Structure 1
């Protein structure tokens, strides 16, 4: 990773606010959730503003579901968390590190099986449900950087598998960030054309917030 990219990520990680004692909602996952934290415009901060209550945030850039150490492992981020609601995403860093967008079957199977019953994601969700948390899984949007390329296919397959998992448990809701994002609207994306802009983070919060008021 180049030095110019590493420094902003380290600064972003250093700003992680953690989980307030009275947080009813906790956000976890990778850089899509954590982006814009340094400017106070992350998904968690936007949710906090919409809900009018503290929102925990343990998300970190570069975090993986089936890899990563410490808080760069998403299940580890959530170790000991038993909030009523957990909002999270993940899988992109696992996929990008392990396949070239055309041979992703093995890494997808490690994340979640075709039927949605096994793998790192169902294991994490089952653990959260056993702790009493309801889960909102935010499926990835299509970014301008990858729209129209072969990299869209593994994420479509990931979404299908997540849908099968969520369909079996009323306490798990799958939301699709593509419902509020368009790769043609560059105002929703940061300069790297991959991560959300502050406007994009706000869109994700607006998609999720109504579920958390139920």
Structure 2
């Protein structure tokens, strides 16, 4: 269940981050992750876990940004991780909506969706997850929730694609005990406008807190089982 993420284009160079402890969390992703700043999903997750977080997520970011200059400035989620160094305990992320938005409800949608995550668990998202996991970090991926019921948005045509992507991420997580997948639609009620920002796309501060707490619970469950 799903939604998405857009915000003003702020060209700020990303700083190289290093973990401040063995329990450190890295956050990467698009504006669903970045929205609300210090009251965002990464910060809510870290607060619930009592751990430090470094947030490199950025509005408008794509899993793979074809614009080299934009990618170098942090608008490529794969590069957000590549520039963050190693030693992270967890990497939490979301992404894919900005990659597919222009193709939603067009003949190109299925191919773009499958390039992100295909029916056999291949694609840019699984490749990024595998790259993170190869460093020893665990991964927590947040799937998109539905937009608010009151009004369609620019991402409403993408919801069928997000449904399929979430189902495939669920299958991918079932094969890897170090990968958590949280369908944010399980905790974001499209009938509760208080969970949405004014644009009815991004989470409000309360919505970010709800997602962050649910993510922390899922992450703890993985740690108890390891």
How high is the TM-score relative to the length of structure 1? 0.85
* Aligned residues: CA RMSD: 2.4
- Once residues 149 and 90 of structure 1 are traced to their aligned partners in structure 2, the CA distance between those partners, rounded to angstroms, is 16
Q: Are the structure 2 counterparts of residues 177 and 17 from structure 1 closer, same or farther at C-alpha, using a change threshold of 3 Å?
A: farther
* Cross-structure match for 1:190: 197
User: Structure 1 regions of 5+ residues with no counterpart?
Assistant: none
Deviation by residue 1:94-136 (Cα, 9 ceiling, x = unmatched): 0113x033431111121111111x2111111111111001111
* Aligned position for 2:100: 95
| Partner residue, 1:83 | 88
* 1:210 aligned residue (213, 217, 224): 217
Which residue does the alignment assign to 1:73? 76
Larger relative contact order (CA 8 Å, sep ≥ 6): 2
- Whether contact under 8 Å (1:141, 1:176) holds in the other structure is yes
Local SS of the residue matching 2:39: coil
- In the aligned structure 2, how far is the partner of 1:109 from the partner of 1:85? 26
Structure 2 length normalisation: TM-score? 0.81
Partner of 2:20: 21
Residues 194-214 of structure 1: CA deviation (Å, up to 9, x unaligned): 001000100110111123333
Output aligned runs, 1:80-159, within 5 Å. 80-97=85-102, 99-103=103-107, 104-116=109-121, 118-144=122-148, 145-146=151-152, 149-159=156-166
Q: In the aligned structure 1, how far is the partner of 2:34 from the partner of 2:113?
A: 23
Q: Compared with structure 1, are the counterparts of its residues 17 and 60 closer, same or farther at alpha carbon in structure 2 (3 Å cutoff)?
A: farther
Partner of 2:59: 61
Relative to structure 1, is the Cα distance of residues 15 and 206 closer, same or farther in structure 2, using a 3 angstrom cutoff? Answer: farther
Structure 1 residue 75: deviation in Å?
Answer: 0.8
Match of 2:171 in 1: 164
Listed as ranges, the gaps of 5+ residues in structure 2 are 1-6
Return closer, same or farther for 1:35/1:102 CA change in 2, 3 Å cut-off.
same
Alignment CA distance shift 1:57-1:172 (3 Å) = same
